[in-house]
Structure 1
Amino acid sequence: MRIDPSTIERIRQSADIADVIGDYVSLKKKGANLWACCPFHGEKSPSFSVSPAKGIYKCFGCGKAGDSIRFIMDIEGLGYGEALRHLAKKYGIEIQETQLTDEQQLAQNERESLLIALNYAKNYYQNNLFQHDEGQSIAYPYFKERGFNDKTIRTFELGYSLDSWDAFTKEAQKNGYNLDILVKAGLTILKTNENESTYQNQKTFDRFRNRVTFPIHNVAGKVIAFGARILKNDKSQAKYLNSPETEVYHKSNVLYGIFQAKNAIRTKDVCYLVEGYTDVISLHQAGIENVVASSGTSLTIEQIRLIARFTQNITVLYDGDPAGIKASLRGMDMILEEGLNVKLVVFPEGEDPDSYVQKIGSEAFVDYIQKTASDFITFKAELFLKEAGNDPFKRAELIKDMVASISKIPDSIKRSVFFQKTANLMQIDERVLISESNKITLERGKQKEKDTQRESNRQRLQNDLPSGVTLSKPKENINFDDLPSFSEEEEFSGFPMDTPPPKTPNPVESTKSVPSGITLQERECVRLLVNHGFKDVDPVVAPGVTLMQYILSEIEGINFETPIYQRILSLCRAKFLEGIVLDTNYFISHSDNAIQQEAINLATERYAASEIWLKYEIIVPTEDDKLADLAYQNILRIKKAFNDQQMKNLIQQMATTNDAAEQTHLLSLFMEAKAIEKQIAKELGTVIGR
């Protein structure tokens, strides 16, 4: 089914850009716009701008831009229709649809099909828990024993998979779900048979059987996977079983409970990080809602950046297991490296967040965190100093480890504070710590250069291989420091001695080029058309004459060289001939992604007048105040740029022809162009050579 155009327009009008993006990142007002750290790439200072007035966003770091629909498509990896449905559900808009053809129906997005199947599974498992005899007698009592009430069970959409080989798969197929989708969603396992090329006659069985289920949601609340706990004492089976990685589920990018916790994390400005599902659920039920879990995986950069969308503060709540604590400390360094503030809390031996909050209650639990939370330096010192005792070698290793962690902090002031604290704590000269940090930083830089060069060499070799042959990457467990070193000559011995090795391109140099003068003027012209084309160019002198009418009439016959600007110009001309003057919203909501992206780039202002200027009544003229001058200047510069290009072409033609008559003709055209150049220069107030 295709969503009706009138419904799409209702969704566009209802989907407030600040409200939509505010579900994913914390926005702070600065001037007329809202700002945040970009959710699409790692950054330490905000470069992600949201304009509520224009209904658009733009990141000045990575270049991502769009409206509320595009944001949902980008952040969730959804298709256009899927993003519309997501927003329609958020704003309670009933979707009107038109029938698709058979071909269009077959082309439905597979990702959307996976999400639909996973949502069906969630409902199926939850129905088993509340309405099936087996669920009521086995699973429901388990959740009650864990202390979960019905409201909590429904909030986290907990469920139960029956003690049957294929009960779910059969029921899903009975309700029209394709077996291929069930397998790809990780819900059904297919017993492969080498003699069979299709699913026909192959055995299938449910991935989750006789287990309580914990749906894993993405930030938007979509079920993307499951965790499932066994209820029997069966050592032959894993206690917890998780969904495999799929097109919609990548465990390194997901935090359990993030959907339920995101608003509380933003409000409290701190995220509690725990280990297990039940820790999250118990704390949430106790009123401590700003809590997530890494779902049994080691903490990843992607998970840290997910938290960073909502807060810069993380408090890690460890179980009282010393071995587990030491194994998890690597994650702390990663948090520091991302520029976040991290504190750590350890519970009494034998306790975890789940058991402890049920034992002492929520108020005492929060009070315990506030009193015992320590920064990572104090935490490491307390953890390892007892082991080190008076052994100077162990103490030296501990200090080196602490310095290595501090050196990963990007903020120089924070680094300085922690160096001072470590110096006092370990009774060592602060200058020694800083010197050691510089050595570590230098070594990291060298290693990074080596890694970059190695990858460049690998890529170069890959490019030289025949098509279809792939050069495998080196295994992660290889210690390159143990390999023999090579001189520069030896390293590039595969090249002829008189041929220098290819230079690794600078990423900035390879992706950015300086635009020509013509391109710059074309861009400015299109910017004026997109932002102000529908306005009167001069309400006093020429009331009723729009800027678009004025510009199009003045540059009639001129076509732009830059493809995207020519497309927008042609669009303006075509619509103007129909009597339609396009406004900004038309461009920034355009269905053509290239036009939409460029329009948003042109419509987004990176800087705003300081509020202090307004306080002291310093008047800053706006573009609306000087539209006629801006347009006139731009038109002159466009004509000058094209006239300059014509003069260059004429000079080249005169240099390549021996025909006297042709040269005379070309010279006369050149003199006309030269006269035009002088006239334009006079209008612009510039000086040109004779």
Structure 2
Amino acid sequence: MISKHTTDLVKDRVDIEEVVGDYVQLKKKGQNLWACCPFHGEKTPSFSISPAKQIYKCFGCGKAGDPIQFVMDIEGIGFQEAIRHLAGKYGIEVEEDEKLTPEQNQEHTERESLLIAMNFAKDFFVKNLQSEEGRSIGLSYFKERGFTTQIIEKFDLGYALNGWDLLLNAAKKAGFQEEILLKAGLILQREGDPSRLYDRFRGRVTFTIHNISGKPIAFGARILTKDKNQPKYINSPETPVYHKSDVLYGIFQAKKAIRDLDNCYLVEGYTDVVSMHLSGIENVVASSGTSLTDGQIKLIRRFTSHVTVLYDGDAAGIKASLRGIDLLLEGGLNVKAVVFPYGEDPDSYSRKVGSQQFQDYLKENSRDFIGFKIGLYKDEIAKDPIRKAEVIREVVQSIGKIPDPIIRSVYAKEASGLLQIEEEIIFAELNKSLIKHQKELYQKNKEEKEADEKLEELIPIKEQALSVDDMLSLQERETIRLLLFYGVEKLGDEEGTNLSAYLLSETEGIDFQTPLYQKILAEFRKTLAKQEVPGIEFFTSHPDEEMKKEVIDLITPRHEISTHWHERFQIFITTESDDLASTAFKNVLRLKRRLVKKMLEEAKSKIKESEQSGEDTEKIQELLQVFMELKKVQFEIDKELGIVIG
């Protein structure tokens, strides 16, 4: 286990903006930072980061927490692993405190063991470049391509020696279990004889695939001989730490440049990425030869909304891969494309023309997807009117994938000019496409709704109007919110009572009906008894996850009042903090009013039960007396609050 001292150092050192900024593109709005949530797909940012409070909160999916919780959620790791990750980021030495129990160790370490095994394999392959075989084959190949020592180290390029079990034996000697090596996809079992194990990668140069935080999670390997019985590339299989549909090659090395330049170049292969880095272009990732997936598109959207797809100079291949552009558009990305001369790809062309000319080519030949797509079919549509009609429909379908209606309209007008066809026809076809999509969506929603309705018989329907209990719970929540925001603030002059002491005094003897709020209130009372007022940080770093999440929900506002109201227009907005004494007093009154209403409901119910059961008049009169006294209390509270009841 990591020591408390190390954990405290990490908590003191981490910064929420830096941690979240490694994964998503942040934009400042008011006092907070906003981004599209990395935990669920969305087009409009609802993910809020508060640098002042060191917390994040998504108003879409409800995810919330501090920097440590964010790393746990985004990486899918435990608390201990998150502390180690952040300690590495901030250069903090990790101190061990005590060993895990065997049960804890088994549950906690499988993922960590896989990552350690992948890191061992990475080091093994990298070290192999210095062997005689590695220098003559692997290093020679990289040097022929112009890869420098710095680039080789930057991407952890390596070489798998041409032997059946060299990695297996080295890993076993280092203490790795065969089971972990199998789960990591580093070794294979021979068919017909599961006891015979051998290396997956042999006699190939290796490309290390990193996750977004820089840990090796998989490998791609290229054969250098012309063996028709062997595939040119082989890749790691899916493992608990590697899901290829959610990974882009080079994302770790590219994420900062993508965020800084607000654009991502998308290529196909490993060597394309490495060669572009050699040319001074670092905002580039590869789909590693697989079809583009929703997970990869969401990964790009964390850092930018602009993508430039680079295509090899092969018209037939480009037309076959146009589906990727539609997926990017559907994902809310702004798409451009660059096509290289015939027979060239980013790797070959960058080596052929040099860094500066390569960069100039990308700038001069970048076209929006409409001009690019129409240009592909220019020769076909010039000779064949029927083919032109088909291309128009294809282009319109692509435009229909764009979620933003204004951008859709702009592209529709551009397509009209390029295709030399009336705007009305383009818009009519676009509307047909959109209506068709809406019908499909409606049918899907209808089917889902019908499925939900079948379940309603098993689920009690909640009444629209809030019950007395609901209203009381909301007021308890408001009391907790005031304690969190203004607990240390004084009511009146500097010598006055602070808000927490006042509210806790006024609620003495009142048990909150909501268990979670009662638990938070108890924490306030316990800490205040030590002559301390628990601040927001006390709860956002609290070990109780339920309590921590609720507190973050309470202190994260969805909207802020613009500073322009006051600074530019001289419009002054009265806030609850302007008169805390009044705010606290009215909160106590409202809380007690809700409590009295609940007691009135209970008294009314008891009177009804007594009348129905035929109890004596004296008992009923006693209950009526209680009811009337409660009504008097309610009347006094209403008068204080200015509530008029007929």
Hey, what's the Cα distance between the residues in 2 that align with 1:262 and 1:513? 48
- Matched with 1:607 is 559
In the alignment, what sits opposite 1:429?
422
CA–CA separation in structure 2 for the residues paired with 1:224 and 1:598: 35
- Residues 154-202 of structure 1 show CA distances to partners (whole Å, capped at 9, x for unaligned) of 00001111111111112112111122221111112234769xxxxxx81
Q: What letter matches 1:570 in structure 2? A: A
SS in 1 for 2:322: helix
Secondary structure of 1:224's counterpart equals strand
324, 333, 355: which one pairs with 2:326?
333
Seen in structure 2, the aligned counterparts of structure 1 residues 70 and 503 have a Cα distance that, compared at 3 Å, is closer
CA contact (8 A) 2:278 2:355 kept: no
Q: How far 1:406 moved relative to its partner?
A: 0.7
Confirm whether residue 110 of structure 1 aligns to residue 64 of structure 2. Answer: no
2:123 corresponds in structure 1 to 123
How many positions carry a matched residue from both structures?
636
C-alpha distance 531-429 of structure 1, shift in aligned 2 (>3 A): same
Distance, in Å, in 1 between the alignment partners of 2:391 and 2:247 is: 33
Confirm or deny: 8 A CA contact 2:267 2:310 kept in the other structure.
Answer: yes
Which residue is 1:11 aligned to? 10
Residue-by-residue CA offset, 1:228-277 (whole Å, 9 max, x unaligned): 11122211111111111111111111110011011111111111111000
1:186 and 2:185 correspond = yes
Moved more, 612-621 or 8-17: 612-621
Identity %: 51
What is the CA–CA distance in structure 1 between the aligned matches of 2:422 and 2:589, rounded to whole Å? 66
Quickly say closer, same or farther: Cα 1:40–1:102, change in 2 above 3 A: closer
- 1:164 and 2:163 correspond: yes
Matched residue, 1:594: 546
- C-alpha distance in structure 1 between counterparts of 2:395 and 2:62, whole Å: 37
Q: TM-score, normalised by structure 1?
A: 0.88
Q: Distance in 2 between matches of 1:644 and 1:191?
A: 75
Match of 1:68 in 2: 67
Whole-angstrom CA distance in 1 between matches of 2:220 and 2:409: 43
Match of 1:572 among 520, 524, 527: 524
Contact 1:184 1:246 in 2 (8 A): yes
Partner of 2:454, secondary structure, is: coil
CA distance in 2, matches of 1:541, 1:129: 71
Question: Retained in 2: the 8 A contact 1:24–1:310?
Answer: yes
SS of structure 2 residue aligned to 1:435: helix
Is 1:42 the equivalent of 2:35?
A: no
User: Quick one: distance in 2 between partners of 1:362 and 1:5?
Assistant: 50
How far is 1:374 from its partner? 1.2
Q: Given residue 571 of structure 1, which amino acid in structure 2 is its aligned partner?
A: E
* Alignment of 1:649 onto 2:606: no
Structure 2: distance between partners of 1:357 and 1:266: 23
CA distance in 2, matches of 1:575, 1:100: 31
Amino acid paired to 2:473: T
Residue 582 in 1 paired to residue 575 in 2? Answer: no
Find the counterpart in structure 2 of residue 173 from structure 1. Answer: 172
**Which residue is equivalent to 2:483?**
529
Alpha-carbon offset, residue 620 of structure 1:
4.1
Give the structure 1 partner of residue 58 of structure 2: 59
What is the CA–CA distance in structure 1 between the aligned matches of 2:421 and 2:465, rounded to whole Å? 50
Kindly provide the CA deviation profile for residues 27-67 of structure 1, in whole angstroms up to 9, marking residues without a partner as x.
22222112222222222222221111111111222222111
Assess if the C-alpha contact under 8 Å between 2:78 and 2:108 holds in 1.
no
Deviations 1:612-655 (Å, cap 9, x if unpaired)?
Answer: 12424544455443222222111111111111011111111111
8 A Cα contact 1:272 1:317, kept in partner: yes
Q: Secondary structure at the match of 2:241?
A: coil
Name the structure 2 match of 1:634: 587
Question: Which stretch of structure 1 is more off in the superposition, 618-627 or 371-380?
Answer: 618-627
Q: AA paired with 1:502?
A: K
Distance 1:109 1:255, change over 3 A: same
Structure 2: how far apart are the matches of 1:211 and 1:86? 31
Q: How does 1:410-429 map to 2 (within 5 A)?
A: 410-429=403-422
The reply on whether 1:538 has 2:485 as its aligned counterpart is no
Deviation of the 1:450 alpha carbon: 3.4
| Equivalent in the alignment of 2:499 | 547
SS at match of 2:280: coil
Q: Secondary structure at the match of 2:342?
A: coil
- Alpha-carbon deviation of 1:126? 0.8
Q: Give SS of 1:343's match.
A: strand
Aligned residue number for residue 317 of structure 1: 310
Q: Single out whichever of 336-345 and 21-30 deviates more from structure 2.
A: 21-30
Using the TM superposition, give the Cα deviation of residue 513 of structure 1 relative to its aligned residue in structure 2, in angstroms. Answer: 9.9
Does the alignment pair 1:376 with 2:333? no
Aligned AA (1:396): A
- The equivalent of 1:491 in structure 2 is none
Equivalent positions of 1:663-678 (< 5 A) are 663-678=620-635
- Give 2:222's aligned residue: 229
Q: CA shift at 1:93, angstroms? A: 0.5
Residues in 1 aligned to 2:527 and 2:24: alpha-carbon distance in whole angstroms: 38
Name structure 2 gaps, 5 residues minimum: none
Give the Cα–Cα distance (whole angstroms) in 1 for the partners of residues 36 and 644 of structure 2: 45
CA deviation map 1:521-543 (0-9, x unaligned): 1111111122222x134151753
Q: Which moved more, 1:59-68 or 1:641-650?
A: 59-68
Q: What is aligned with 2:24?
A: 25
Q: Which residue of 2 aligns with 1:348?
A: 341
- Measure how far apart 1:510 and its partner are: 9.7
Structure 2 Cα separation of the partners of residues 368 and 676 of structure 1: 81
SS in structure 2 of the partner of residue 296 of structure 1: coil
**Conserved in 2, the CA contact under 8 Å of 1:29 and 1:35?**
yes
**Cα distance, 1:567 vs. partner?**
2.1
| Residues 518, 641 of structure 1: 8 Å contact kept | yes
Superposed, 1:437-448 pairs within 5 Å as 437-448=430-441
**Which letter maps to 1:92?**
G
Deviation for aligned residue 1:453: 5.0
Q: Provide the rounded CA distance (Å) in 2 between the counterparts of 1:453 and 1:622.
A: 44
Distance 2:382 2:274 in 1: 40
Map of 1:497 onto structure 2: none
Q: Read off the aligned partner of 1:179 and give its amino acid letter.
A: E
C-alpha displacement of 1:141: 0.6
Task: Give runs of aligned pairs for residues 96-107 of structure 1, distance below 5 A.
Answer: 96-103=95-102, 104-107=104-107
Q: Match for 2:120: what amino acid?
A: Y
Tell me whether 569-578 or 420-429 shows the greater mean CA deviation.
569-578
The Cα of 1:379 is off from its aligned counterpart by 1.3
Check conservation: 1:159, 1:213, Cα contact below 8 A: yes
* 1:357-396 alignment runs, 5 A limit: 357-396=350-389
Q: TM-score, normalised by structure 2?
A: 0.94
Alpha-carbon separation, structure 1, partners of 2:619 and 2:169: 84
Task: Report the AA paired with residue 281 of structure 2.
Answer: I
Give the secondary-structure state (helix, strand or coil) at the position aligned to 2:77.
Answer: coil
Q: Is the 8 A contact 1:265 1:290 kept in 2?
A: yes
Q: Distance in 2 between matches of 1:680 and 1:601?
A: 30
| Structure 2 CA distance for aligned equivalents of residues 61 and 208 of structure 1 | 43
- The residue type equivalent to 2:113 in the other structure is S
Comparing 679-688 with 656-665, greater Cα deviation is found at 656-665
Match of 1:661 among 610, 614, 618: 618
